[in-house]
Every structure is written in C-alpha cells, then in structure tokens.
A and B are shown apart, each in its own frame.
Chain A
Amino acid sequence: MPKVVPAESRRNEFEAAALPHMDDLFRTASAMVSNRTQAEDLVQETYLEAWKSFHRFETGTNCRAWLFKILIHRVHHYRRKWYQVFSKNESEDLIVDNIKYEAPIPEDVKDEDLLTALGRMPAMFREIVLLADVQEFAYKEIAKMLDIPVGTVMSRLSRGRKHLREELLAVAPAFAREGQKA
C-alpha cells in the first residue's frame, strides 16, 4: 500500500531540496534573457512547474539538474514566443565562426563588460557557456537537459567560449590594449 505523506511535510521536502538553487536559477535566467523582470517570471514558473511534478521526482536524484532542465525549457519557450527569429537566426549551421585571432582575456575584466558580451552572443552558445562554465554541469548532464548529443555539447561549448572572447574584445577593447601595454 502506498505511503501517505502529509501535505506539509512533502511541501517542506520540496522547499528544502529546491529553494537552495534559486540564486543560481535566477542568475542563469537573467543572463539568458538579459532582463531581470522576465528572469523573475521564468524562475517562478520553473518552481511552480517543479512543484506540480514533484511527485514524479525521485528523492536522491539530482534536483539541481532537474530544476535547470525545467528552467531551460521555460527559457526556450519564452524565446520562441518573443523572438520568432530565434530558430532562423540561430540554427547552428548558419552561425559563422569568424574569429580571426584569439586574444588573451585578463582575469580582471569588469563584470558588467562580461555580462554585456555574454548578452551579445548567440543564445544557443550562451546557454552552453552558462551551464558548463558557470554552473559547472558535466557534459552528460547538459546533453540530457538540452536533449542533444554529448558531441554537440562539446562543439558548442568550444565555439561558445570563442564567441565570448570575441564579443568581449568588441565590448571592452581597452582591455586588449592594456594587456599589450603591461
């Protein structure tokens, strides 16, 4: 006979497992859509959806990856809704890597410059960089979240990191000069 767990304790369980990831979910959403208000909505939707399907979530499995997967679906949905150009502009094959040289990035680049550069990147590369380099998910976890092969995660991440360095040079060219002077 299935065990009946009182509503309150199930709710506490959900909050204890899911809420510690709120900051990271918000950061990711905010960097993905470059809009704080929209990011708040996306995170709220994520929690609501997670709570509704919490009965399907198995205790002991990776709650963080599960929440991120939901968030990413919400973000994709949002993007499709508001930017019809998304699929047209950002299909992988159409993005040309025109990186002429790789410039060193000083570690003390300003946070705001970096976020601007991140916002200028094609979204599909931006999300890979956020998941791999900021949230430190493994390739396998990212592949599952995005429903793509691990090989695609690898190639997108590699291109994403290059795109970021290139955008950063465009946003903060002073850094390239300073780096050379020093």
Chain B
Amino acid sequence: MNLIHSNSPCQRVRPLLDSYVSNELLIETNHDILRHVGDCPQCRTALQEIEGTRIAVRRAVRSIHPPADLRERICASLTPREAAWTGSLRPRLAAPHVMSRWMAVAAALTAVVLSVGILRNLTLHRNSTGLLHVGWMDHKECVQAGHLPARPPTREQAVTRLASHSGLLGVVEAEMPGYVLRQAHECTVAGRKYIHLAMAKGGHIVSVSLVRKNPGERLPAPKSATIEGVEVFGFDSGDYLGFVMGEVSKDLPGLATKLTPRIQQVMQTL
C-alpha cells in the first residue's frame, strides 16, 4: 500500500492510526505512517491523542493494587486433589485416608509450601544466562518490535513517567553524550515490570532497562552475552536486575561499563 502517493493520504492514514499505536501493522506501513505524521499536523494530533489515552489508561489501571492477602487466599483455596497429576491419570497411590490427611496438612502448610516451591523453581531454572534472556526479551519486544513512539517524550514527560526512577535520566544524559532520548517509561512485557529507557544515535539504539527481581533471581557478577545480534550486559542492582543492550558495536562494552555503577548508585538511593 503506497500511502504517500494516494490522493488523500490523511484518509488513508487515519483509520490505521489505532492499529499503528497497537503495533499491529507491517513495518513498511509503520514507516509510511511515520513519514506522513511528520508532515501532517492534523494526523500527528490524532496520533498523539490515541497514544496519550493509551498511556494514561495504562498508568491508571496499574495504580490499582490487590489486597495484600489475596495471594495467600488463592493458594489456600487450591486443593492438591485436582490436576495434581499430568495427563488424565488419577492419583493411584492416593488411598482415601492418605489423601484426606495430606489435604489437611497441605491446607495448613499452603503458604509455606508455596513460597519455598517458587523460590526453588526459580533458582533452579533462572541461572544468569537465563536472566540475560529476560533483558533481551524486553529489548526485542519493546524496542525492536517498534514500540518506540512516533515522537520521543519531552524531558518533562520522561521525568513524570519514570517517577521515582527519574534519576536514571541524568545518568544516561551524562554518560551517553550525542545520544537522544527516544523512550522512557515503565512497561510490562510478558507480565514482568520494566523501567525502560531507549537512547538513539544515528539510527543505533541502546536500551537501558531495569526489571524488578522475582524471588531467587540475582546476578552476583556482571555478565554479558550476544543473543540474536543484540549484546546484553546484565548486572545486579538492589531489588532490580539491570540491562544495557544494543546491536553489537565496538562502543557498547565501554558504554555498559560506564553506565553500570552509575545506575546501581541511582537505584540504591531510592
């Protein structure tokens, strides 16, 4: 579809703006739209309205928090009877008296079993290379998939969106001269919460992201890996895991080395 040479580009672009904001269009179509809104103030305003509403509703709904004991209540309500076995197998060794005794004990110990279970699972499966994948997934989803807004946030907007983490802006500004801010927000990728900054210099995007740790996750020493052409530098930062990521380049390791202690410092003062 060639939007630019259409007789009425605005009429072609407007109906696509909703899908553009949802990141549901082909990359070529995204480019056509970006080019058009760059020249057309009316379509740019329409796009900003949709994006603004999306950001505002996301923030508002995320301000809702469940009661502190909901998790416990949910766990207590799950009995170990159903679905405790894979496939359609029925629990063979569960003679009735064994079963009910186990259930009584389980009910009493639910909370303990749960937290220990999760901790063990994560420590087993989330070794440090696995953790670097967590960072890379975010980069892939949020940056490469075209989540970058048509217009970068102003510094003021970035400060508001980052809220208590806005000190990170000062860090990237100081340590990344020549880069411009392309994105700064809190976002959720596959159910995990991220603080996310993207900086660009000549088409090269470097992303800095922080993800709140799940129990048992840690990176005792900084670690790096190249995953699908993206170099990921991961480090521990208090309650967070930090990542500096970008396409493999000779500048990136130095940049990551400079950024790491400054980010740790900012995250510590929270």
Contact = CB atoms under 8 A, between A and B. Distances in A.
Interface of A: 2-5, 7-8, 10-16, 19-24, 26-28, 30-31, 36, 40, 43-44, 47-48, 51-55, 64, 102-109, 111-112, 114-115, 118, 129-130, 132-136, 138-139, 154, 157-158, 161, 164-165, 168
Contact of B49 (A21, A102, A114, A158): A102
A52 B45 contact: no
Closest 9 CB pairs of A and B: A12-B117, A7-B84, A114-B60, A26-B66, A111-B60, A54-B83, A2-B87, A158-B18, A27-B64
A108 B160 contact: yes
Interface string B15-47: 100110010100000000000000000000110
B71 interface: yes
Nearest to A2: B87
B70 A7 contact: no
Given A7-B91, A102-B49, A115 B118 contact: no
A128 B149 CA distance: 21
B78 A47 contact: yes
B151 to A, nearest CB: 12
A48 B78 contact: yes
B204 interface: no
Contacts of A107: 52, 55-56, 157, 160
B130 to A, nearest CB: 14
B85 A19 contact: no
Contacts of A2: 86-87, 89
Contacts of A54: 83
